[in-house]
Amino acid sequence: MKIATTIKEVRKQVADWKREGLTVGLVPTMGALHEGHASLVDTAKEQCDRVVTSVFVNPTQFAAGEDLDAYPRDFDRDCGVLEAHGCDLVFHPSVEEMYPEGAATFVELRSDMTKQLCGKSRPEHFCGVCTVVSKLFHIAMPDKAFFGEKDAQQLAVIRQMTRDLLFGIEIVGCPTKREEDGLAKSSRNAYLDAEERKAAGILYQAICKAQEYLKEHLDTEDGKTESQPVTELIKDIIGTEPLAEIDYVDAVDGMSLLPADRIGDGDLIALAVNIGKTRLIDNFTVRK
């Protein structure tokens, strides 16, 4: 496994691979890798000849007061994970490499999609994501790029950006990996103390109950049901956990991410909950 810190090195390696007719998969990450990331690399290995993983904590997707400085960083450990999963090239640039002095160009999806869910409390977040992902696409020129379904809104935004800007890159979403109690794997889980970690299990418990509810309540005719009882059910369950403070529990159209009064196959239920000072997100797609 090669490690590159400069754009030039990545371009050269990718150009060499392309000349050999090899396909390239890109797994963009912010490091602090867990099994979710590892599964992205595994999927990329299955679908592409060569896999590039970027490890870069992108400052422009954090707002002032968010956890940019605290975000966990352990590059040596990350390299161990990536090597074990057959990653071919790790790209670990400095902030200056990704944002040259005076850099002021941004990529922005100007649609209501970015104003829902996490966009309500993080209005600049997805512009930062689109900007850095565009840069990574320009550097690695992948055939496919792999993102976790845990960040459902990020995945939807990147899908649309990639389509809108005619990148010609296939975006592949990969299922959420979970801990034994169902908590979605996240680098931010490291912030939780023992008590909070236990409390965090309430998110998945609520999701499971909502899925059970939906199994019984999807209308036999149009395959849909009112969304409010489902989101209320989730809110009620999470409300039983004293350490949990709900940011949002929303039911949205699976394509546009706009609020949906009735939901059915393919639509999304997404939630953000603060456990202590740690903001956790999770979601599931409604299935018939």
31 is in an annotated binding site: yes
CB 28 within 8 A of CB 169: no
32 is in an annotated binding site: yes
Contact status: 164 vs a copy of itself (CB under 8 A): yes
Q: Toward a copy of itself, which CB reaches closer, 7 or 199?
A: 7
Give the binding range for a copy of itself (CB under 8 A) out of 11-19, 34-42, 67-75, 211-219. Answer: 11-19
Q: Report helix, strand or coil for 81.
A: helix
Alpha-carbon span 170 to 114, nearest angstrom: 21
Minimum Å distance from CB 273 to a copy of itself?
A: 29
Q: Which of 13, 160, 186, 189 binds a copy of itself (CB under 8 A)?
A: 160
Q: How many residues bind a copy of itself (CB under 8 A)?
A: 33
Alpha-carbon span 20 to 186, nearest angstrom: 36
Residues in 110-129 that interact with a copy of itself by CB under 8 A: 110-111
Alpha-carbon span 41 to 82, nearest angstrom: 8
> What is the b/e burial string over 164-197, where b = at least 16 CB atoms within 10 angstroms of the residue's CB?
eeebebebbbbebbbbeebbbbbbbbebbeeebb
151 is in an annotated binding site: yes
Alpha-carbon span 120 to 88, nearest angstrom: 37
Q: Which of 147, 167, 191, 284 binds a copy of itself (CB under 8 A)?
A: 167
Give the binding range for a copy of itself (CB under 8 A) out of 99-107, 198-206, 246-254, 269-277. Answer: 99-107
What single DSSP character describes residue 70? T
Q: The tokens of 253 are what?
A: 């159209």
Q: Which of 80, 86, 123, 168 binds a copy of itself (CB under 8 A)?
A: 168
Q: Which of 1, 165, 233, 243 binds a copy of itself (CB under 8 A)?
A: 165
111 is in an annotated binding site: no
The CA–CA distances, whole Å, from 66 to 69, 199, 237, 238, 277 equal 8, 22, 27, 23, 10
Residues tagged in the binding site annotation: 30-37, 61, 148-151, 154, 185-188
Report the interface residues with a copy of itself, using CB under 8 A.
7, 11, 18-19, 21, 98-100, 102-111, 130-131, 134-135, 138-139, 141, 160-161, 163-168
Residues tagged in the binding site annotation for beta-alanine: 61
